[in-house]
């Protein structure tokens, strides 16, 4: 049984098909890359998977349970966690309070959350800024804080939307190392990224979208050599 699966997921905005008939599948403990040029429908697909957008058609399952049109908070409590391209932290409370809030929302006690938060802050190099308001953190630190919030209680799958965009290389490596460690513990990730070297490094399998449709899926190196993928990124005639 797949951990996360979609069938015929479709979303139109007016006459534009943002996502059309999307069939994705990922397994327990997998890191799946999702790539595609700007406007190809990746974020719309993530919005539907995480409950922020209702699909016009199609269905989605999480560990066998149908989750189509389920609210984002209900999905989060089931272990489907989302990280946004533009970070979503609680700016006027401290980084540690952000983590405590996330832990309580996932059903942990305050004591348990505090213990896990301390460990995550240390692991993600955020301990020195734990008591600063999240709004005072740098963009990279906010992204790390979002990672920590997702993992305050072990998620079933984390959906990461451009986690490495506009991040300092040192922090990028901290994030990549965090993903690798958690993956080694069995956690699954769906990573949307334009950063091909890191997709190649992290994701054994990748799916590529273009103009709302899935145009290729399989082993990452094969997908990157696929003629349709090259054409989507570089334009027609580029593989000739």
Partner 1 sequence: MNDARNLWSRRLRTDFRAALSIIAALAVVPLFVSSPYWLGILVVSIYFALLALGWNLLAGFTGQFSLAPAAFAMLGAYATALLDYHLKAPLAIGIPAGILATALLGWLLGRIVLRLKGPYLALTTLSFAEISRVVVGNSHEFTRGDQGLNVPTLMQSRVGYYYLFLAVLLGVLCALYLLMRARAGRFWLAIRDDETGAASRGIDVVRYKTLAFALSCAICGLAGSLYGTFSQLVSPELGLLLQTGLVISMVVIGGMGTLTGPVAGALIVYLSSELLRGVGNIQLIVFSLVVIVFARFFRTGLFGLATGRR
* Residues found near partner 1 in the complex (CB under 8 A): 50-52, 71-73, 76-77, 81-82, 84, 88-94, 96-97, 100-102, 104-107, 128-129, 131-133, 149
Q: Which is nearer to partner 1, 8 or 139 (CB)?
A: 139
Q: Which is nearer to partner 1, 92 or 239 (CB)?
A: 92
Shortest Å, Cβ 52 to partner 1: 7
Shortest Å, Cβ 114 to partner 1: 10
Q: Which residues contact 214 (CB under 8 A, 6 or more apart)?
A: 22, 23, 24, 207, 208
Shortest Å, Cβ 106 to partner 1: 5
User: What are the start-end ranges of the E strands in 36-187?
Assistant: 57-62, 65-66, 80-83, 157-161
Shortest Å, Cβ 143 to partner 1: 13
Q: Which residues contact 146 (CB under 8 A, 6 or more apart)?
A: 83, 84, 87, 88, 89
Q: Which is nearer to partner 1, 84 or 164 (CB)?
A: 84
Strand pairing category for 65-66 and 4-13: unpaired
Q: Name which of 210, 206, 211, 202 is nearest 229 in CA terms.
A: 210
Q: Which is nearer to partner 1, 85 or 213 (CB)?
A: 85
- What six digits make up the tokens of 130? 């734990």
- What six digits make up the tokens of 122? 């240390």
């Amino acid at each position: 049984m797949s951990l996360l699966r979609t069938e015929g997921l479709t979303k139109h905005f007016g006459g534009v098909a943002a996502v059309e008939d999307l069939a994705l599948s990922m397994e327990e403990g997998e890191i799946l890359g999702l790539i595609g040029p700007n406007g190809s429908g990746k974020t719309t697909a993530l919005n539907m998977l995480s409950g922020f957008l209702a699909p016009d058609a199609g269905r989605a399952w999480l560990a066998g349970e149908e989750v189509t049109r389920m609210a984002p908070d209900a999905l989060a409590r089931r272990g489907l966690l989302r990280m946004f391209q533009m970070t979503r932290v609680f700016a006027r409370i401290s980084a540690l309070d952000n983590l405590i809030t996330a832990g309580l929302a996932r059903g942990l006690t305050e004591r348990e959350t505090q213990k896990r938060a301390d460990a995550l802050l240390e692991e993600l190099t955020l301990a020195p800024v734990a008591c600063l308001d999240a709004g005072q953190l740098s963009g990279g630190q906010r992204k790390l804080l979002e990672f920590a919030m997702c993992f305050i209680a072990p998620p079933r799958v984390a959906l990461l939307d451009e986690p490495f965009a506009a991040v300092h290389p040192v922090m990028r490596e901290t994030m990549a190392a965090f993903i690798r460690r958690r993956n080694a513990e069995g956690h699954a990730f769906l990573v949307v990224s334009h950063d091909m070297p890191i997709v190649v490094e992290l994701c054994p399998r990748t799916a590529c979208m273009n103009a709302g449709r899935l145009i290729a899926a399989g082993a990452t190196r094969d997908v990157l050599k696929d003629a349709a993928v090259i054409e989507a990124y570089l334009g027609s005639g580029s593989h000739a």
